A = this chain, B = another copy of it.
Amino acid sequence: MKSLKEKIRREGSVIGTEIVKVDAFLNHQIDVEFLEEIGLEFSKRFQGIKVDRILTVEASGIAIACLTAPYFGYPPVVFAKKAAPSTMNAGFYEAEAKSFTKGTVSTLKISKEYIKEGENVLILDDFLASGQASLAMADIVEQAGANVAAIGAVIEKGYQGGSELLRSKGYRVESLAVINEICDGQVYFDDNRG
């Protein structure tokens, strides 16, 4: 997605050789009009796929999922929680995911009420790095007896192997921008993908 790559180059900032920070439009400040374009792009990439539900993870995934949902006819969105609040008293599915950026392991939790057997679930997230968060969400979808329709990421760090891992497990993966390398403060994209 050309406009996304341009936006990452223009508004993103690089930290070392591993992290590109997009707090300017995605992870802290949110450019809603641009995320509508992201949503439209996901709907084109996943055209013809039946989507009964969109699953993401708090916090940044919520904006992406909510602004994509209209292009799929408003399926329910559900976001996995990283900590169960005191009001989450019914049964829930859970799976562990390591966050590369934060260096922590989160246990993703989704109430059994909000994911149903047989549903086709589109998994969306902001970053696809090692693929652990998507894999944890896919695990939860399968615990529920539902199907992973596809996995979509806004930005993929291609050098961390996440998309290969997810594809090796049979999932369809689409990333809107794939970073091949971060070097000398510059971001290099894979122009054959994303």
Decide: B88 and A28 in contact? CB cutoff 8 A. yes
Residue in contact with A23 in the complex, picked from B27, B88, B101, CB distance below 8 Å:
B88
State the CA gap A29–B62 with chains docked (Å): 10
How far apart are the CA atoms of A19 and B88 in the complex, in Å?
12
Q: Is A21 an interface residue (CB 8 A)?
A: yes
Q: List the B side residues contacting A9 at CB < 8 Å.
A: none
Any chain B CB within 8 A of the CB of A117?
no
- Let me know if B23 and A114 touch, CB within 8 A: yes
**A30 engages B86 (CB within 8 Å):** no
- Asked if A81 is at the interface of the complex by the 8 Å CB criterion, the answer is yes
| CB-CB nearest in chain B for A110 | B28
Instruction: Report yes or no: A30 in contact with B101, Cβ–Cβ below 8 A.
Output: no
Residues of A43-97 contacting chain B, CB below 8 A: 58-60, 62-63, 65-67, 69-70, 74, 76-79, 81, 85-89
Taking Cβ atoms with an 8 Å cutoff, the residues of A that contact B are 15, 19, 21, 23-24, 27-33, 35-36, 58-60, 62-63, 65-67, 69-70, 74, 76-79, 81, 85-89, 101-103, 110-111, 113-114
